[in-house]
Amino acid sequence: MSTPGTPAELSSQEASDILHKLLTESTRIKAVFARSAYPQLGMLPPVASVTGTLRRGPADLLTVSPDMSFDSTLTFDPRTATSVGYGDDRVLPPQDAPGSPRLLSGLIFSYEGYLVVLFEIPGE
């Protein structure tokens, strides 16, 4: 169980179930690649991000790309994450910037020195 304002740790099966949902429902997501920071700070400013849908690629790598294009993609291997966390709209900071999408939840894959975060964007 997580404390207020912090993501909950997930088991491999729980993370796999959420990824399966995102894949099968073609859920629109914003994928963010960022350097990790001290635990109390969460993540440093994003290095890169892409908004689109999640797809399975070669060797079971996962790819987020806009529409059917592979021009801008973020590809990662969830199996090699050192930990996986999950936060919903009670944990995520409000998106006050003009044009920022409202985010429902975040699936956080932690690696050595960096994070890949998949934010679910609600349907229009």
Domain ranges of the chain: 26-120
Non-local CB neighbours of 45 within 8 Å, separated by 6+ positions: 34
Q: Binning pLDDT at 50, 70 and 90, where does residue 109 land?
A: very high
Q: What class has domain 26-120?
A: mainly beta
Task: Round the average pLDDT of the chain to a whole number and report it.
Answer: 78
Give me the mean pLDDT over the 40-53 stretch.
72
- The mean per-residue pLDDT over the stretch 23-49 comes to 76
Quote the tokens at residue 25. Answer: 């429902």
User: φ, ψ for residue 46 (rounded to 5)?
Assistant: -55, 145
Q: How confident is the model at residue 13 (pLDDT cuts 50, 70, 90)?
A: very high
